Amino acid sequence: MTNALVTVLGLSPAVITETLCALAHRESDGRWDPFFADEVHILTTARGIEQIRTRLEGASGGLQQVCRELGRDDRPPRLIVEPIRGADGRVLDDIRGEADNSALGDATVRLIGRLTERDDVRLHASMAGGRKTMSFFMGYVMSLFGRPEDELSHVLLHDERYEFCRDFWCPTQASRPLAYVDRESGETVELDARDARVDLTPIPFVPLRYLLRADDLARLREGTYAGLVQRIRDIVGVPLTVTLVDARRLLAVSGRAPIELTPQSYAMYRLLAMAARDERPGAGPDGNGPAHRGWLTVHDLRLPDDPMVEAFVRVYERLRDPGGKVPPPFAAKLQPTDKDPWPAVKVFSQIRANLERELESKVADRLLLERLRFGKSEGTGGQPNRFGLRLPPEQIEIVES
């Protein structure tokens, strides 16, 4: 497994060595949990590349000094410079205008997308260094592409004066004097690298990768930041219009590919859609009672002559495949017996479970699935269990023929 550190760089290459040092000494749950980078991918501009060349690389550069301090001077990480290029292909000198920021976003998407595609890479991304826009893109793109094993962090020096010491690369074990010139007074103050402390702050990110299908990921890894954002907006931001087509047992969702359900699943989804569309009183997402609307409870589906049971049976019998072996009338399964006065409760509970599994198998966009699937709540204080669609009434249409 390859440990890869990804970082952005402006004009202060020490942020890279500080991060390497902090990762090598980090703890997790009170135990030593080092991360030694095999590769360091540095997303930067032409000015940053010059800083890497003159200050970070080489036998006397900052990277080699830190590796010696960590006892890894024979195994330094490989520096991989990732230049930020403009539309004309030239490496940007700085990140300032809208076009520069667009190029930065695109470069971040391609880099993080490429690394998270590799199964042999464990990725740690740092938000320290560079302009604020560079840190933002790093964090946001990690949220969209990052896997469960990937990490995001930021580093800070406990004493900011060390940031202005040109020869400071990381805390040292032995005493190492440093000269700090106070910017206001001009007075030179002696600091010691041994007294410095680098604080590594893990930053949990919301993993949104699961929202994207495999073909989305493959395309967006080589695309643009704007394209990635638009794809997420398409998933989360567009109001849904769900049209149920009885003749074909279809859910047609806002122009997406229609979803065909089995007869029982479609009949159950239609029942829930009808309750939500008509704002049926008695239960809702927030509770039971006359003030709550749009959901059903288990008490609505107990006996064959319950209106909601009759509505389900009518739709199901109409949709059932006439070419197959005709089973006993479905209504017979719902008839009470001495041993079980409410068999319909178990029957419809199983149908809802089947519907949930069918939706999960047929809806690839995970957030779309969350918007389509039904919600449910366990009853408390003597109230029955309730369930229903989260869709508002105006987003539901039922085509009966």
Give the Cα separation of 266 and 354 in Å (integer).
11
Q: Is residue 142 part of a domain?
A: yes
Residue 177 pairs with which residues in a beta bridge? 192
| Helix, strand, coil content of the chain in percent (nearest 5) | 40, 20, 35
- Whether 258 and 382 share a structural domain: yes
- Whether 267 and 218 share a structural domain: no
User: pTM for the whole thing?
Assistant: 0.65
- Whether 255 and 331 share a structural domain: yes
Give the Cα separation of 17 and 72 in Å (integer).
13
* pLDDT, tens digit only, all 401 positions of the chain: 899 999 999 889 999 999 999 999 988 777 888 899 999 999 999 999 999 999 999 888 999 999 999 999 888 999 999 999 998 999 999 888 889 999 999 999 999 999 998 999 999 999 998 888 888 999 989 998 899 899 999 999 999 999 889 899 999 999 999 988 888 788 898 999 999 999 999 999 888 887 776 767 777 777 788 888 877 776 666 677 899 999 899 999 876 789 999 999 999 999 999 999 999 999 998 888 889 999 999 999 998 889 999 999 889 888 876 555 545 677 788 888 888 888 899 999 999 999 999 999 998 777 778 788 888 887 666 678 899 998 899 999 999 86
Q: Which amino acid is at 106?
A: D
Helices (H), 222-365: 225-236, 263-277, 307-319, 343-362
- Whether 311 and 392 share a structural domain: yes
Residue 190 φ/ψ, nearest 5 degrees: -90, 125
- Whether 23 and 137 share a structural domain: yes
Which sign, positive or negative, has the C-alpha torsion 95, 97, 102, 105? positive
- Whether 129 and 259 share a structural domain: no
Taking the CA atoms of residue 8, residue 12, residue 14 and residue 20 in that order, the dihedral angle to the nearest 10 degrees is 0
* DSSP string for residues in 328-379: SPGGGGG---SS-S-HHHHHHHHHHHHHHHHHHHH---HHHHHHHSEEEE--
- Whether 12 and 35 share a structural domain: yes
Q: Which of 141, 107, 91, 129 is closest to 8 using CA atoms?
A: 129
Last residue of a domain, one of 206, 234, 262: 234
Q: Is residue 137 part of a domain?
A: yes
- Whether 311 and 226 share a structural domain: no
Residues 56/16, Cβ–Cβ less than 8 Å: yes
Q: Is residue 388 part of a domain?
A: yes
Q: Which domain holds residue 341?
A: 242-399
